[in-house]
Structures are given as structure tokens and as C-alpha cells.
Amino acid sequence: MHKTKISLSWSGGKDCAYALYLLRESGQFEVVGLHTTIGEETRRVSMHGIHESLLDAQALSLGLPLEKLYLPASGDNLAYENVILKYLEKLEVQEVRHVAYGDILLEDLKKYREEKLAEKGFLGVFPLWNKDTFALSREFIHRGFRTKICAEDVDKIDEHWIGRDFTLEFLQRLKPGIDPCGENGEFHTFCYDGPVFQFPVNIRCVKVIPKDYEYQTEGGIRERKTFLFADLILT
């Protein structure tokens, strides 16, 4: 059976790891590689805070090449679109016309991705799209995936969990209104073991780093939000 070649957008977290699992299980796709956007100066995935060395270790265990797309410090949307465009041109040479994402519920983001891909004649594939996040989070754990909470909004997630595993206990203790897959940005994860890995990526948290972000509400009010990041290193 002919399989469709596809590249997977990779953040290092649970959703993209589970998307990889489902793509492989479907029998329809051949995942030819992963691609990740990384801060040019920080060498980290922006909202996850994960250093590129951990992504390299994941890719080695997954048995897949990882294309690292470096974003300048400005981090504006145009810079993002430029690096993605160059990557799509590279995929085109390899006769790859499909790109997969681990998105679940965010309609605007999905539409944006599809429109940008369509401009270059590519198609987006969303293995987790519109799945129930309550069921999906538990399914992920029951399948044997292991992942750590690497970033969290302290207004939404108890600081006790930063650097700890994403478990059934974590899900049971979530505050009302918090999405169990963190679809509204409540938390982010780093997946270090599971059925898609050939061997675990051994890591430990050496410290917790707080970082404040300023943003403007729809009413024009300036507010500040604090995120905690687990500084994970390879062991």
C-alpha cells in the first residue's frame, strides 16, 4: 500500500507525540521527519521553554530527522511565516505535500495553518482534531506515554506540578474550567517515553524559572501573567 509522505510539526509535547502515534497507526502516512521552530538566541521552543538538545534526543529515540527552524528575537508573525515558507520549499523538493499538526480545538489556528499551506499547494493533517480532550488526555496516559509539565500558567495550574509527570492524579486535581490537554495555554509538556520511542529520553528538572508576560485585554487593559518553566536537562 502506498503511503503519503508527511512532515510533523513538533514541539516536543504530548499532543504532537500522540499525533505521531496515530499517523503511524493509521497505515496511511509515512512520517519522513519532524520540524520545530526554535528561538535563534535562546535555542529553546518558545512557550515550552525546552532546549533544542532535548528535541535532538527525542528525534534520536523516535528514529526521525528533526529540522530546526530558527526564529529571530523579534519573534513576529512574518518571521515565522518566512521560515515555514523556506521549509515548505525544501519539502517540495522531497515530494512531500502534507504537514501534520497536534492541534485539537483551536479553530482559528487550524484555519490559519490550512490557508498558509494552501498558498504553496500543501495540505494539513490533524490526527487529534475535535477529539474530546477529557477522553484524549486519559487515552494518552493509558497508551503508555510519559510526559512532564514543562510550563504552566500559575493562575491556572498549582505550582506543585511544574517539572512533574502528567498523570491521572494531575488530571483529577485540575481546577474547574481548565482544559485537560491544556488547549487554552494553561500548561505545556515534554514527552520523554511511550510507544513511539525506541528508548526513554532521560531527563531531570534542575530548577524552576518564573517569567512574566504583559498583555492587553480586549478592553484595552494592560495585565501581567506569570508562567513557570521547568529547566529540564538530559541525564
**Confidence at residue 29, expressed as pLDDT on a 0 to 100 scale:** 97
Own/partner contacts of 70-74, CB < 8 Å, gap of 24 or more, are 70/37, 70/38, 70/39, 70/40, 71/37, 71/38, 71/39, 71/40, 71/46, 72/40, 73/39, 73/40, 73/41
Residue that finishes a domain, picked among 94, 125, 156? 125
pTM, two decimals, is 0.94
Domain range for 184 is 133-234
The string of pLDDT tens digits covering residues 101-134 is: 999 999 999 999 999 999 999 999 999 999 999 9
Indicate if 28 and 44 belong to the same structural domain: yes
Which residues are CB-contacts of 112 (< 8 A; sequence separation ≥ 6)?
none
Indicate if 179 and 204 belong to the same structural domain: yes
Measured distance CA(100)–CA(134) in Å, rounded: 22
Measured distance CA(164)–CA(120) in Å, rounded: 40
Indicate if 108 and 140 belong to the same structural domain: no
- Give me the number of domains the chain comprises: 2
How distant is the alpha carbon of residue 103 from its chain centre? Answer: 9
Indicate if 60 and 138 belong to the same structural domain: no
Structural contact between residues 139 and 166, judged by C-beta atoms closer than 8 angstroms = no
pLDDT at 218 exceeding the cut of 70: no
